[in-house]
Amino acid sequence: MRRTLSGRKRVGRWIRVTRRTVPYIALTIQALFPRAVNAQSPQSPVCNVPIRDSVARVLEKVQHDFGTKVSCETADSKDVWSGRALVLSLGARPTIRADGSRLGSPLIVLSHAPWHTDAEILHELLQLELIARGFPARIGIPVIPPGVDRASVAAAGPILQEMIERRIFYPRMRSMGFDPDGIYREELTSVLSAKEFTGWNDTTVLRSIHYAYAAAVVNDREFMREIDSSYRKRGWDQYMTLGQRLKNSVVQANVTTPDGEAKELINALNILFANKFPLHWVFQKTDLYLGVSSLPASFRK
């Protein structure tokens, strides 16, 4: 599915939310992480990026879990994931290449950024590790309930998935000496300090989601005081209140399993969209379909 320059998706009768869909609307940067400060000697490159001993051990585990090596490629210039305006351009993303096996082959796709870090590689490896545990590589919403805006669902889905999953593996990244939140903190602060910021006017659900993400994932008191102040100055109290509800739900769920993630994704959608999503989900290989009790024949593999 194509994403337009405004950040909206062209959608048909269903919406597929994938890791090709970049999660942060209206934030434009070239890499997700700063260089880590811990000083270990780099190991053999992965995706032509030197990695540290700690990252190499994660790589070994992921390759053991999948039973094959992690491969790399550069995103095609026509790839809708890369280089779109008003979108946070991640330095890399994980995906699965179908090969007939249960999980498929793990693949890291790099953006056309001039350089990449082992922090980016670690981030993608930890996401691949979750996929090997049964977490979805992609989520889809085959049926959009009446009265729910399709573009808002398309925008919300990726960030909700990232919010849940990053709460699982970001503590591990921090314990390894990396700062996975650094650039997000800087960019969100910069965006909210702009005098004429209109990036979230069409898709206002993002105001609540980013508040919840900042509170649930970054969880920095001084940072949240700045965000609270900015939201109040903009008159976004209702979005802050909804964001607080969403954050509380995600934190209380404390997801550790694939089914737990599916349940919490629907809980989150119902907080954002007035309880209109059925509490059903279906796993199909590495895909997760929300809001349905059975998968339509046209979506079965």
Name the domain count of the chain.
Answer: 1
% of the chain beyond a pLDDT of 70: 73
Is 178's pLDDT higher than 80? yes
Whether residue 139 contacts residue 157, with contact meaning beta carbons closer than 8 Å, is answered with yes
Please classify residue 256 by burial: count the beta carbons closer than 10 Å to its beta carbon, then call 0-12 exposed, 13-18 middle and 19+ buried. Answer: exposed
Instruction: Give tens-digit pLDDT for 252-300.
Output: 999 999 999 999 999 999 999 999 999 999 998 888 999 988 877 766 5
Choice between 170 and 86, residue whose per-residue pLDDT is larger: 170
In a domain, 3, yes or no: no
In a domain, 57, yes or no: yes
Q: How far apart are CA 76 and CA 10, in angstroms?
A: 20
In a domain, 4, yes or no: no
In a domain, 10, yes or no: no
- 12 CB contacts (<8 Å, ≥6 apart)? none
In a domain, 9, yes or no: no
Q: How far apart are CA 295 and CA 197, in angstroms?
A: 40
In a domain, 6, yes or no: no
Instruction: Give tens-digit pLDDT for 1-57.
Output: 323 223 333 333 344 444 443 333 333 333 333 333 333 445 667 888 899 999 999
In a domain, 1, yes or no: no
Tokens 């001084």 appear where?
222
Which residues form the domain of 112?
A: 15-299
